[in-house]
């Protein structure tokens, strides 16, 4: 019975769905031993460090990940980084196939003056800060201002806007990092603008997220009716289904009565940022608008305009993605998820995508190599296996239970390693 060894690098949705696809392709004649390598002491990728804490239902997909991880032939090697602890060439040599699933974690920049001022940050840093990613526990966020501006027209911008404008007590029952809950409770931010370069008909928000906004209990949500009506007109008589659904959801928002809450999110369409102004820190932002320019005073700017992959030595990249043809990189090397496609698609998108790439991988397998595994590359290096991660997971959930939350995240590398038993 031939058993093929596959290393999957990155324990986010794409990595787990690739493992699941391989598990599903197994037959008595074709077996896989799967080693998943993750740089952090904890797995789950953006399901843990991206998805907004006030959307706990979405995170239940982690149950699927744990089922995959506890299936026979699967091993987790967390706290192991590709590029520093092991190289891609070493993995390619040892394994029958290697799958890169390292996502895309760097925020794209606007390239406008003032972007480097204090108080101008990327969602790629802000989101992992509030989500307890251990690399961002000490990230500084200026919440001492009254007005914040989020730049971007996608769901990440909307998550960021919501997190800034929620009544912070609402976060007590979520898995938001303790340090972020404290920060939000001290925050002076009361007005959050979400600004989009183009009209509402071109926004990348999705309608379920838009439809949630009027349900916010402690936050006003403002969209201009004339903006949305103009967008409906521009979209024409038969807009695409998603566009129509978005515009319908936006129309509902415009029809809301003002609830008079202390906190407000307001959407600005057709606002292209041209400069972030300030001497030592952000003081305002200037936008080009259809009839000229406007400058809005603010103390915090968060850009949420997309992500690109961080380069890992030995892997070819172009435009923030791993160079590939339908997921094939070279020889026995493949790529899935955001590292392959760029930052688009929801969690489920990675399932069908990974499944297609794993079909290709299996069709291109040669005879098994039997040339060892990652443990031989990790002599003297401490890694966290599935049992270690289970200890940490159990600890976080138990601590959360005491505080009425789904989990209380450990946000330090050292503490996470200690609780995992390494």
Ligand X SMILES: Cc1cc2nc3c(=O)[nH]c(=O)nc-3n(C[C@H](O)[C@H](O)[C@H](O)COP(=O)(O)OP(=O)(O)OC[C@H]3O[C@@H](n4cnc5c(N)ncnc54)[C@H](O)[C@@H]3O)c2cc1C
Chain residues binding ligand X by CB under 6 A are 9-15, 37-40, 45-46, 50-51, 55, 58, 81-83, 101-103, 105, 127, 156, 159, 312, 337-339, 345-347, 350
Nearer to ligand X among residue 51 and residue 329 (C-beta): 51
Which three-class secondary structure string do you get for 332-361? CEEECCHHHHCCCCCCCHHHHHHHHHHHHH
Name the residue whose CB lies closest to ligand X: 12
Tell the smallest beta-carbon distance from residue 78 to ligand X (Å): 9
Nearer to ligand X among residue 13 and residue 119 (C-beta): 13
Nearer to ligand X among residue 103 and residue 119 (C-beta): 103
What is d(CA 2, CA 405) in angstroms, rounded to the nearest whole number? 45
What is d(CA 327, CA 381) in angstroms, rounded to the nearest whole number? 30
- Cβ neighbours around 176 below 10 Å, total: 26
What is the side-by-side strand order in the sheet with 31-38? 74-78, 31-38, 3-9, 97-100, 333-335, 328-330
Nearer to ligand X among residue 43 and residue 183 (C-beta): 43
| Nearest in space to 212 (alpha carbons), one of 260, 250, 257, 264 | 250
What is d(CA 308, CA 318) in angstroms, rounded to the nearest whole number? 10
Tell the smallest beta-carbon distance from residue 111 to ligand X (Å): 21
Q: Residue 341 has which token pair?
A: 């496609």
Nearer to ligand X among residue 66 and residue 283 (C-beta): 66
Nearer to ligand X among residue 81 and residue 115 (C-beta): 81
Burial label, 258 (beta-carbon count in 10 A; 0-12, 13-18, 19+)? exposed
| Nearest in space to 338 (alpha carbons), one of 358, 353, 316 | 353
Tell the smallest beta-carbon distance from residue 66 to ligand X (Å): 15
Helix (H) or strand (E) holding 297: strand 292-297
Tell the smallest beta-carbon distance from residue 400 to ligand X (Å): 19
């Amino acid at each position: 019975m031939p058993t093929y060894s596959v290393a999957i690098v990155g324990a986010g949705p794409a990595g787990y769905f690739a493992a699941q696809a391989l598990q599903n392709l197994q037959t008595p004649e074709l077996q896989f031993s799967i080693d998943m390598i993750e740089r952090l002491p904890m797995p789950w990728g953006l399901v843990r460090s991206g998805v907004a804490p006030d959307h706990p239902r979405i995170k239940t997909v982690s149950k699927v990940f744990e089922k995959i991880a506890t299936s026979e032939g699967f091993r987790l090697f967390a706290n192991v980084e590709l590029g520093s602890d092991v190289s891609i060439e070493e993995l390619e040599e040892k394994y029958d196939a290697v799958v890169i699933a390292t996502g895309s974690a760097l925020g794209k920049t606007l390239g406008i003056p003032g972007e480097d001022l204090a108080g101008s940050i990327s969602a790629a840093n802000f989101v992992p800060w509030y989500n307890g990613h251990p690399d961002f526990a000490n990230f500084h966020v200026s919440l001492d201002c009254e007005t914040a501006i989020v730049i971007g027209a996608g769901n990440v911008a909307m998550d960021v806007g919501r997190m800034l404008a929620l009544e912070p007590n609402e976060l007590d029952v979520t898995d938001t990092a303790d340090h972020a809950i404290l920060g939000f409770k001290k925050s002076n931010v009361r007005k959050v603008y979400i600004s989009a370069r183009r009209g509402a008909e071109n926004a990348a928000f999705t309608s379920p997220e838009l439809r949630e906004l009027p349900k916010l209990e402690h936050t006003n949500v403002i969209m201009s009716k004339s903006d949305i009506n103009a967008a409906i007109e521009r979209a024409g008589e038969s807009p695409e289904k998603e566009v129509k659904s978005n515009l319908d959801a936006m129309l509902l928002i415009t029809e809301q009565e003002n609830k008079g809450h202390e906190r407000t999110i307001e959407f600005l369409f057709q606002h292209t940022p041209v400069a972030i102004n300030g001497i030592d820190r952000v003081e305002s932002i200037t936008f080009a608008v259809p009839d000229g320019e406007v400058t809005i005073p603010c103390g915090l700017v968060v850009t949420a305009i997309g992500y690109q992959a961080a380069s890992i030595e030995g892997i070819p990249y172009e435009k923030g993605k791993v160079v590939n043809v339908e997921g094939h990189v070279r020889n026995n090397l493949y790529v899935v998820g955001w590292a392959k496609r760029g930052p688009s698609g929801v969690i489920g998108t990675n399932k069908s995508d990974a499944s297609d790439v794993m079909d290709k991988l299996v069709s291109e397998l040669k005879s098994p190599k039997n040339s060892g595994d990652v443990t031989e590359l990790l002599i003297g290096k401490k890694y966290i296996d599935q049992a270690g991660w289970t200890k940490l997971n159990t600890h976080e959930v138990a601590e959360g239970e005491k505080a009425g939350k789904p989990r209380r995240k450990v946000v330090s590398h050292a503490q996470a390693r200690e609780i995992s038993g390494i």
